[in-house]
Amino acid sequence: MDGKHVKTYRHWNPDIYAQECHSPRSKLPPGDLVFFFLDLVPQLDLGQFYAYYEEETRGAPPFDPREMVCLLLYAYSVGVYSSRKIAAACERNLAFLAIVGNDRPDFRTISDFRKLHLEFFKGVFLQVLRLAKELGMMRLGNLSTDGTKMPGNASRHKAMSYAYMVKEEQRLQAEIAALLEAAGQQDREEDAALASRRGDELPEELQRREQRLATIAEAKQRLEEQAKAVAAAEQQRRADAAAERERKGKPRRGKEPGPISEVPDAKAQTNFTDPELKVMKQNNKGWEYSANAQAVVDDAFQIIVACEVSAATNDKEQAVPMAQAVLANLQAAGIERPKDAQGHPQKIPNTADSGYYSEKAARQLEELGFDPYLATGRQKHHAGEEAAAERGVEATAQERMRAKLQSAEGRALYSRRKVIVEPVFGQIKGARGFRRWLLRGLEKIAGEWRLVCVTHNLLKIWRRQCALALIN
């Protein structure tokens, strides 16, 4: 422990088993993953984790944050995510015992530490990003963006549509009125018989219905606010489209769109367990309340450069925020962008599938210093600018992007996307078994996704070191 920290922590000595006859170090292979973490974590700057405890003087000494960070990183790396399963592994798994020694945290301690410090793992993510760059595992030659929708910790049966909410609200209001009338009649009868009552009694049935009514009212308000936001966005979209038509002198095609409504659709639903999640289609598994996990991956060693979580059901609006997250992470990690011979920053190629394409997104990516290669959908060969030239008109932005992808450079860059970002989700969901969020609320889910992604990067670094050790 360095001199910066004055707080007393439980003593953490992971080498204690090395002094015993049957120690994890004597049983596990020398290059085991757990020893990589035991060597790495003490070198990380965990000042934010320690600062949380420095002012707290009550209670027993907490576990050393180095121990808890090491435990969580290792557990997530080997596909153990539940705090109860992590605690159980600390009792009987040699690798986990090598981390915790004889002083083993229970599941509540592990769960609380994770919830309290999820935001601090962003600093760990940036440090690992810097380490990957120093090891030559990032070149920013092709950053590929993609997303995956994973179910949340929320049941479909704990949800209600807007139309049913209105009906249920009316029913509860009628029942509450009837219960109040019955309670009033009972009070009058008791007054006549006993001439005494406190006046503050609240029947249990009435209390339960009022709580249910308040819950439904909150859910209705959420749906109404979402409907207003969607209506405002649609109004802005129509205004932008009208301005663009006026600029080009082109008339509107097709029918005049209908009026914009701020009232939620009757089938619009919200979940009472985790209201921030949306119903999203799963691959061959129907519909679930989910969150949309996004990642931007470098092409050299599949290092995740940026990771975010969205409640959007599609990726149309995610290209620019993810590019901004990349730039913020590179700056925070002290990683410089590639430069040309004159020392000017080069544009970073950014590949993504058709779900991310829009004219606005492509333009903004270029303004941010990226060179976007966004698929525009299924297309025929020799389409794009050539087809526009045959029509004798200027190519549209979509046609120019399509032609860009059909160029030799575009085909070479975009064809790499399927071996850059798509395998990353396979490794996380298939190999490590992370297919469902454990925490609730988008902020905590985002922290959980960051923890998953930082351990993905650490596994890449460990495997790279193992490969170099074999070569040498």
- Give pLDDT tens digits for 266-292: 777 776 677 777 778 877 667 888 899
Percentage, residues of the chain above pLDDT 70? 84
- Give pLDDT tens digits for 415-460: 999 999 999 999 999 999 999 999 998 999 999 999 999 999 999 9
pLDDT at res. 60: 78
- Give pLDDT tens digits for 63-113: 999 999 999 999 999 999 999 999 999 998 999 999 998 889 999 999 999
Q: How does DSSP classify residue 435?
A: -
Q: Give the chain's mean pLDDT.
A: 83
Sign of CA dihedral 464, 466, 470, 472: positive
For residues 335-373, one letter each, b for 16 or more C-beta atoms within 10 angstroms of the residue's C-beta and e for the rest, the string is: beeeeeeeeeeeebbbbbbebbbbeebbebbeebebbbb
The end-to-end CA distance of the chain, in Å, is: 34
Q: Is 370 helix (H, G, I), strand (E, B) or coil?
A: strand
Asked if residue 55 has pLDDT above 60, the reply is yes
- Give pLDDT tens digits for 169-223: 777 677 667 767 776 666 666 665 555 555 455 567 667 777 777 777 777 777 7
For residues 20-38, one letter each, b for 16 or more C-beta atoms within 10 angstroms of the residue's C-beta and e for the rest, the string is: eeebbbeeeeeebbbbbbb
pLDDT at res. 416: 93
Asked if residue 359 has pLDDT above 60, the reply is yes
Residue whose pair of structure tokens reads 């790279």 in the numeric block: 464
